Amino acid sequence: MQSAGSEEDIDTINLTYPTITINPYVPQDHIVNPQNFSYILNPNWTVCQHNVYIIVCVHSTPAYYQRRLLIRETWAARNVFPEIRLVFMLGQTIDNKIMQAVKFENDLYQDIVQEDFLDSYRNLTHKAMMALKWISTYCSQASYISKTDDDMIVNTFTLLKHLKFRDSHRMKQNNSIFCRVYKPMNVFRDKNIKWYLSEKEYPLEKFSSFCSGSAFILTNDLAKTIYNLSLYVPFLWIDDVYITGLVAQAVNVTFNQPKSLYTMNDETIGLTKHTGIIIKNPNLFKRRRSLNKLAVIISSASLDNSTSDGETLEQVVNFGFFS
């Protein structure tokens, strides 16, 4: 007979513990994402002299001069919208002729910020951080920051009305982002998708909420706050997930999604107070007649969206804007 407590009386139990994935994208206690890039072009304080209500920051590519010209002549035209300022964010290219052309363009317009990282899709986060760094240094007096891409059309009339309405009714909140919010979604694991992330790059199974990177508006306090914190958050090349998701939520931002903020329509451009603020229409940039028409509309319109001929922009659009 075995005594109590002998080895034959003891059952061996193998316990299986669930695997816990640690989020590597929380702020660290030391700098892990240094931005050791230098300015190639920098208009300094010349962009934001005097009163600035909105600083419009457009992410562009060196070769896309025509897109930048369109934006200068239309929805961000200084003579039409004196309260806004415009600046383009670029990386560098290995094409020396394009680099020289960009320098000449900046000599003419003084509205291009360029750093010495390669301008590529996987460097968009560097471009976004450059923009926040530059704005917090050279345009901190702006009330709002509007970030968009160079293939977007912004209804500046509606944008100004919306923000000024909020301000006049004391609805402005610091630490806020206005955007099209994407709720938590699965990480892209399909290698055929351009946003594919391996488990090594991003071990979590879902993204947290983040903004569409096509366009969003920040309150002025966030440029410095997000940039400073981003130095301590490990790098991720998907810029909207990184800037407006991982870093922004670490500073407890408030997301605001105004109704009808976006109009994604390849057939019409609805520049009226009844339509979205942000309009994506790549076809517009391929049709010079449409660009000329848009320039005429905006240059002759006022904040009530009527032209000098008494037409509303809605009527102009409905009567064959693309004809």
Q: According to the model, what pLDDT value does residue 267 have?
A: 38
Q: According to the model, what pLDDT value does residue 312 have?
A: 40
- Number of folded domains in the chain? 1
94 C-beta neighbours (distance < 10 Å), count? 8
Query: Does any domain span residue 296?
Result: yes
**Nearest Cα residue to 278 out of 142, 172, 158, 125:** 158
Pull the structure tokens for residue 30. Answer: 């030391």
- Distance between first and last Cα of the chain: 101
Query: Does any domain span residue 143?
Result: yes
Query: Does any domain span residue 174?
Result: yes
CATH (domain of 76): 3.90.550.50
Q: According to the model, what pLDDT value does residue 138 have?
A: 96
Q: According to the model, what pLDDT value does residue 109 have?
A: 95
DSSP string, 29-55: SS--S-----EEE--GGGTT-S--SEE
Residue located via tokens 């208009």: 43
Dihedral sign computed on CA atoms, order 289, 155, 262, 126: positive
Q: Which residue range forms the structural domain that includes residue 175?
A: 39-318
Predicted confidence band at 321 (pLDDT cuts at 50, 70, 90)?
very low
Among 2-11, 82-91, 148-157, 309-318, whose mean pLDDT is lowest?
309-318
Query: Does any domain span residue 134?
Result: yes
pTM for the model = 0.79
Pull the structure tokens for residue 248. Answer: 């922004």
* 79 touches 157 (CB < 8 A): no
User: Is residue 314 over pLDDT 50?
Assistant: no
Per DSSP, helices labelled H in 147-250 are 156-168, 222-230, 239-241, 248-250
Query: Does any domain span residue 27?
Result: no
pLDDT digits (tens, 9 = 90+) for 220-278: 999 999 999 999 999 999 999 999 999 998 998 999 887 655 544 433 333 333 344 54
pLDDT digits (tens, 9 = 90+) for 157-183: 888 888 998 888 877 788 999 988 889
Dihedral sign computed on CA atoms, order 311, 314, 318, 323: positive
Query: Does any domain span residue 26?
Result: no
Query: What's the average model confidence in pLDDT over 13-22?
Result: 60
User: Is residue 313 over pLDDT 90?
Assistant: no
Query: What's the average model confidence in pLDDT over 53-77?
Result: 93
CA-based angle 268:63:148, to the nearest 5?
50
As a whole number of angstroms, the distance between CA 83 and CA 233 comes to 34
Q: According to the model, what pLDDT value does residue 10 have?
A: 54
Radius of gyration of the chain (CA): 24
User: Is residue 206 over pLDDT 60?
Assistant: yes
Among 4-8, 146-150, 235-239, 317-321, whose mean pLDDT is lowest?
317-321
Query: Does any domain span residue 94?
Result: yes
Residue located via tokens 């030391």: 30
Query: Does any domain span residue 290?
Result: yes
User: Is residue 303 over pLDDT 50?
Assistant: no
